[in-house]
Every structure is written in C-alpha cells, then in structure tokens.
Amino acid sequence: MDVLTLRNRFPETPFIGMYDGKTYVVKDRLTLPVEVARHVHNRSVIRDNPVTGEREYRLAIVEEEGDLENLTALPAETLDRSDFDSLRKVEIIDMRNPVVPPARTAGGSSVRSTSK
C-alpha cells in the first residue's frame, strides 16, 4: 500500500482533519494512505489567492518536498487580497433612477418598430 507522510508546519497546535467519518490528528508527522493524506492535506489551506490560484497549506507532504518550513503564526484571514489592486476598477451604476438613452436615429429620422 502506498503511503504519504504529512507534516504539521505549525506544531504549536495539532491539525485535526477528517476523512470518511474518521478523525486524524497531525501533531508533528502522520503517515497515511495516499488518498487519505491528499484529502487531509487539501483541507489544510491557510492562504488562498483567488486571482493567481496559489494556495498555501498548513500541512506539507514530506515525500513531495514541498514547503517544509515551520510557520511562526497562522494568518488571520485565509483570503489573500494582495492582488486585488491590480484588477480593473469596477464602476457601480445606481439603478434606482435609470437614465433611458434616446432612441437611435438613422438619417435624421427616428427608427421605430411597428410590430403587432
């Protein structure tokens, strides 16, 4: 059976994950079957950047040699808003009193539909 080792990057508090109704506690390291390890790892997101799609995880998979450095603190907010400033600014239109544009004209006369 293939297994993966999960490492808690914030060892001050254990990470508690769940898979198929069973609870898994990762204090420092925990070896689990591949499917269970990937599921628990994917639930340990601590930073998510919706613009770039990058994620930072509290748990690291040792065999994949990801980011194994310890975290000094957990972020207060999971959503990373740092790239939002580079997005195009949105204009908010007040629709309580909409302004209807004038009818289009072709050659100086109004174009009207006369369908019945």
Look at the pTM and tell me if it is higher than 0.75. no
Q: Which of 63, 39, 47 is nearest to 10 (CA)?
A: 47
Q: d(Cα 1, Cα 7) in Å, to the nearest integer?
A: 20
The encoded tokens of residue 99 equal 């302004």
Helices assigned H by DSSP within the chain: 34-42
Q: How far is CA 43 from CA 37, 97, 106, 111, in A?
A: 10, 46, 60, 59
pLDDT tens digits, 79-103: 766 666 666 666 777 778 777 777 7
pLDDT tens digits, 34-89: 999 999 999 988 888 877 888 888 899 999 876 778 877 777 777 766 666 666 66
